[in-house]
């Protein structure tokens, strides 16, 4: 027998007949017609190869197979009902679960402190697991439910995802406080001849800064390439190297000097993504609200 071919509603009818010992009363409980109940019972009998209920003086008496099935059927139905009710009546203050979020390192640094504060106040028993996936894998991770949300640049292309703009950021240049460029006029020529540290988690492609320079016919010298921001503040503070970073990151490093770039770049943008099947999921909607508030600077 292939369970995937059985309509689960047939077991709802089975439970009602077992409880009421009558097709008519089962129909009343289920708010359907008696012929509909008879039809459902006939289909389930055919699937299981057993009459399930025999007419007797006391009504519809269960067969041995029906008596064997009733407890696991009720446990399964009750479990489904509980799960549905919990999702419909989601209460973050009492919910106990772990939610998974994909985020870039930029999003982690600029957004996570505020998000963690919000969760600790509004949902003290909800745990958050932040992971990082390749962009091409994110749609599948969201579709499977292994991820609830993703926060990344607007470069994830999938018709199955819904996206929402979170935050736009412009680039600034950070350098050591005693760097000669910190106190002088900061020109494009000085920017181009300086030694640069470039940070990108991706092994391919050009970032906003290099695309902007290319558009005006220039190229900078990148002396060091990194995949993470963790070492950047110490590297810049103890060398003559400079780095172009989003302002929301530079604000976390008050020991460094900030200078406006001597040319214009397109803004760095973060967006939030979720699978369209989760559009009405109260848990994911709530988490999305928390992420959006944290991204805009709300505690």
CATH number of the CATH domain containing 44: 1.10.10.10
HSE toward the beta carbon, residue 65, CA cutoff 13 A: 11
pLDDT tens across 121-160, in order? 999 999 999 999 999 999 999 998 999 999 999 877 788 9
Q: Which helix (H) or strand (E) holds 13?
A: helix 9-20
**Do residues 262 and 280 share a domain?**
no
**Do residues 163 and 181 share a domain?**
no
Among 88, 120, 140, which residue terminates a domain? 88
Tokens standing for 244? 């172009």
Mean pLDDT for the chain overall: 91
pLDDT tens across 23-36, in order? 999 999 899 999 99
Kind of pairing, strands 161-169 and 268-275?
antiparallel
**Do residues 137 and 189 share a domain?**
no
pLDDT exceeds cutoff 90 at 240: yes
Q: Is residue 258 a contact partner of residue 268, using CB atoms and an 8 Å limit?
A: no
Among 48, 64, 88, which residue terminates a domain? 88
* DSSP-derived secondary structure for 111-141: HHHHHHHHHHHH-TTEEEEEE---GGGHHHH
Q: What is the pLDDT of residue 205?
A: 62
**Do residues 217 and 285 share a domain?**
no
Question: How much of the chain exceeds pLDDT 70, in percent?
Answer: 95
**Do residues 137 and 203 share a domain?**
no
Q: Is residue 208 a contact partner of residue 270, using CB atoms and an 8 Å limit?
A: no
Task: Count each helix (H run) and each strand (E run) in the chain, helices first.
Answer: 11, 12
pLDDT exceeds cutoff 60 at 1: no
**Do residues 77 and 109 share a domain?**
no
pTM for the structure as a whole: 0.70
Q: What is the pLDDT of residue 297?
A: 77
Q: SS3 helix, strand, coil % of the chain, rounded to 5?
A: 45, 20, 30
**Do residues 189 and 224 share a domain?**
yes
pLDDT tens across 73-125, in order? 999 888 887 676 666 678 899 989 999 999 999 999 999 999 999 999 999 99
3-class DSSP state of 48:
helix
Q: What is the DSSP letter of 242?
A: B
Q: What is the pLDDT of residue 298?
A: 64
pLDDT-derived band at 299 (thresholds 50, 70, 90) equals: low
Domain that holds residue 69: 3-88
Among 27, 62, 88, which residue terminates a domain? 88
For the chain, the C-alpha Rg in angstroms (whole number) is: 30
Residue 102: closest CA among 277, 272, 285 = 272
The CATH number given to whatever domain includes residue 162 is 3.40.190.10
pLDDT-derived band at 2 (thresholds 50, 70, 90) equals: low
Domain count of the chain? 3
């Amino acid at each position: 027998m292939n369970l995937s071919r059985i309509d689960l509603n047939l077991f709802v009818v089975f439970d009602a007949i077992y409880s009421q010992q009558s097709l008519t009363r089962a129909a009343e409980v289920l708010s359907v017609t008696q012929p509909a109940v008879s039809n459902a019972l006939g289909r389930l009998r055919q699937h299981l190869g057993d009459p399930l209920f025999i007419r007797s003086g006391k009504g519809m008496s269960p067969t041995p197979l029906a008596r064997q099935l009733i407890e696991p059927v009720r446990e399964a139905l009750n479990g489904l009902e509980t799960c549905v009710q919990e999702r419909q009546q989601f209460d973050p203050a009492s919910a106990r679960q772990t939610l998974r979020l994909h985020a870039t390192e930029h999003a982690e640094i600029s957004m996570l402190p505020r998000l963690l504060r919000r969760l600790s106040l509004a949902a003290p028993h909800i745990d958050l697991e932040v992971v990082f996936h390749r962009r091409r894998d994110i749609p599948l991770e969201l579709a499977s439910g292994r991820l609830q949300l993703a926060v990344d640049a607007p470069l994830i292309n999938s018709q199955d995802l819904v996206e929402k703009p979170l935050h736009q950021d412009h680039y600034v240049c950070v350098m050591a406080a005693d760097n000669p460029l910190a106190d002088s006029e900061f020109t494009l020529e000085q920017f181009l001849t300086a030694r640069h540290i470039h940070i990108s988690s991706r092994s391919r492609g050009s970032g906003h800064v290099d695309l902007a320079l290319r558009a005006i016919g220039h190229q900078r010298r990148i002396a060091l390439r990194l995949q993470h921001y963790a070492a950047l503040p110490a590297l810049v503070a103890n060398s003559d190297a400079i780095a172009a970073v989003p302002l929301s990151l530079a604000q976390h490093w008050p020991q460094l000097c900030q200078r406006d770039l001597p040319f214009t770049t397109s803004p760095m943008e973060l967006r939030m993504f979720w699978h369209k099947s989760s559009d009405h999921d109260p848990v994911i909607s709530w988490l999305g609200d928390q992420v959006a508030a944290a991204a805009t600077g709300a505690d």
